Amino acid sequence: MSGIPSFCELPLIGQFTQDNLFRYNQLREHSFTQTRPFMTDSTAKPPINWPGAIVLLSTPLIAMILLPWYALNHEFSSAAWWSFLLLAGANGMAITAGYHRLWAHRTYEAHWTIRIIYMIFGTMAIQNSILVWASGHRTHHRHIDDVDHDPYSAKRGFWFSHIGWMLRQYESGRDDFRNAPDLLNDKIVMFQHNHYLKLVLLTNIGIPALIGYAVGDVWGVLLLGGLLRLVWSHHTTFFINSLAHMWGTRPYTDENTARDNPVLALLTYGEGYHNYHHIFQYDYRNGIHWYQFDPTKWLIFALSWVGLTRNLKRCPQFAIEKAKLTMQFKYAEEKLSLQAAGHAQLEAWKAKLAQEYEHFNLVLNDWSKLRETWFAEKKLELLHKWEEASFRTRFQEIEYRLKMQRKRLRLLTAQVPSVA
Ligand SMILES: [Zn+2]
Ligand SMILES: [Zn+2]
């Protein structure tokens, strides 16, 4: 399965130039020696990350006290509730479409106006600057589940991957921008990084206060659109690092803990399809089927109609089918291995599975050959428009064969009784 991501076009994240190398070294020095005195002794608990701990622990506590008190003594206006919904949506989508799919993974390109909007509402979500967030997330993908290098490894438990990793200055969470030369060159990203605290205060107090003033309910909007919205967007996003690595199915790969979970997708603007995302991280979609709830994908796609986003990357259907089938073979084999040795049907099922596996390898072979021919002819510029179209049809035929095989395999697996 390790070959699958190579089917997806890798994004160009840029090179270090003299200018951004200097900036990188400055930031590195600052983050390593001044603000983050990391422990080298692995037995000692790392020092507390005070800014993170204060924001993450105080806001839910204040919300739990202040909101019921206010609700009992005053009344929240419907405008205040609307401000919660709309601002939570704007923060959530700025993180998923902006911080995650645009800046961390480069799955598409966006017009500067959209990037500024993402930057403003992403800052409001208080999840650190784009540079720190996206660089840490690239490390998460690269070292997934590694307890020493994945900043929020799910193998260290729910609490750690959800919030614990931000409360102390863990060695695994150390900033290292060597994986982000493209971001160090991005003016919007660096502006936000350099003025982060001011922007956090301005967006978190200024925007709710302004809306509150406009609708005549300043305190209501500050509490619901400000405080409750912040706590809500924090924990729904954090679920992607914790629950989305623990609860759900693994249809595409079982080589890491990432799961697909439609319930989490509802809370996370589509990021719940995390098993797909970890194998095909350069795809702008997380929920690839039309019935899967992925509003982040819909937003990026809708913006492409009006020219505000472009170069939307999708992983080839063939690679997706191949990953799914590989997992189905694994599950079928597992199920068969659990059957009692003398079962009357066992040999027949095994023979059928072996036959299907042979067929699978034949299809993969056909696909490789067709791709080689296509590459060779493309290189020689022999392809005319109608030939391109004929190649496309032949590729689609192969994808269809895999799809049909997936159905047969599902039927075959369903015949085998489950053993608890
Ligand atoms: Zn993940
Ligand atoms: Zn990701």
**Across the chain, what does the average pLDDT equal?**
87
Task: Judge whether residue 105 has pLDDT over 90.
Answer: yes
11 C-alpha vs ligand 1 centroid, how far in Å?
Answer: 18
53 C-alpha vs ligand 2 centroid, how far in Å?
Answer: 24
Other Cβ atoms within 10 Å of 127 Cβ, number: 19
243 and 389 assigned to the same domain: no
Least confident range from 75-89, 160-174, 247-261: namely 160-174
Other Cβ atoms within 10 Å of 266 Cβ, number: 13
User: pLDDT category, 26, cuts 50, 70, 90?
Assistant: low
Which residue range is the domain that position 330 belongs to? 317-415
256 C-alpha vs ligand 1 centroid, how far in Å?
Answer: 9
95 and 8 assigned to the same domain: yes
What is the per-residue pLDDT across 278-302, written as a single tens digit (0 to 9) for each?
999 999 999 999 999 999 999 999 9
148 C-alpha vs ligand 2 centroid, how far in Å?
Answer: 19
User: pLDDT category, 329, cuts 50, 70, 90?
Assistant: confident
Task: Compute the radius of gyration of the chain from its Cα atoms.
Answer: 25
144: nearest Cα among 260, 255, 304, 29: 255
239 and 306 assigned to the same domain: yes
Domain boundary among 310, 339, 374: 310
242 C-alpha vs ligand 1 centroid, how far in Å?
Answer: 8
Domain boundary among 310, 335, 363: 310
Domain boundary among 310, 329, 358: 310
pLDDT of res. 420: 60
Structure tokens at 251: 């249809």
246 and 323 assigned to the same domain: no
Q: CB within 8 A of 121, min separation 6: which ones?
A: 87, 90, 91, 93, 94, 98, 203
339 and 201 assigned to the same domain: no
For residue 99, the ligand closest to its alpha carbon is 2
Task: Tell me how many domains the chain contains.
Answer: 2
366 C-alpha vs ligand 2 centroid, how far in Å?
Answer: 32
85 and 209 assigned to the same domain: yes
pLDDT of res. 361: 86
Structure tokens at 38: 């990391």
27 C-alpha vs ligand 1 centroid, how far in Å?
Answer: 26
- Tokens 């609708």 found at: 215
Other Cβ atoms within 10 Å of 43 Cβ, number: 5
144 C-alpha vs ligand 1 centroid, how far in Å?
Answer: 7
Report the distance separating Cα 8 and Cα 243, nearest Å: 26
Task: Judge whether residue 204 has pLDDT over 60.
Answer: yes
**More confidently predicted of 32 and 250:** 250
Report the distance separating Cα 418 and Cα 420, nearest Å: 6
278 and 368 assigned to the same domain: no
For residue 143, the ligand closest to its alpha carbon is 1
Question: Are 124 and 202 in contact, with CB atoms under 8 Å apart?
Answer: no
Report the distance separating Cα 1 and Cα 273, nearest Å: 19
For residue 134, the ligand closest to its alpha carbon is 2
Other Cβ atoms within 10 Å of 5 Cβ, number: 17
244 and 322 assigned to the same domain: no
322 C-alpha vs ligand 1 centroid, how far in Å?
Answer: 22
pLDDT of res. 14: 55
For residue 286, the ligand closest to its alpha carbon is 2
Q: Give whole-number Cα distances, 38 to 41, 160, 259, in Å.
A: 9, 18, 32
Structural domain includes residue 420: no
Query: What percent of the chain lies above the pLDDT cut of 90?
Result: 60
For residue 138, the ligand closest to its alpha carbon is 2
Structural domain includes residue 93: yes
Q: CB within 8 A of 34, min separation 6: which ones?
A: none
Structural domain includes residue 386: yes
Region 360-386: mean pLDDT is 81
137 C-alpha vs ligand 2 centroid, how far in Å?
Answer: 6
pTM of the full structure: 0.84
322 and 304 assigned to the same domain: no
Q: CB within 8 A of 384, min separation 6: which ones?
A: none
340 and 300 assigned to the same domain: no
334 and 196 assigned to the same domain: no
Q: CB within 8 A of 203, min separation 6: which ones?
A: 120, 121, 123, 124
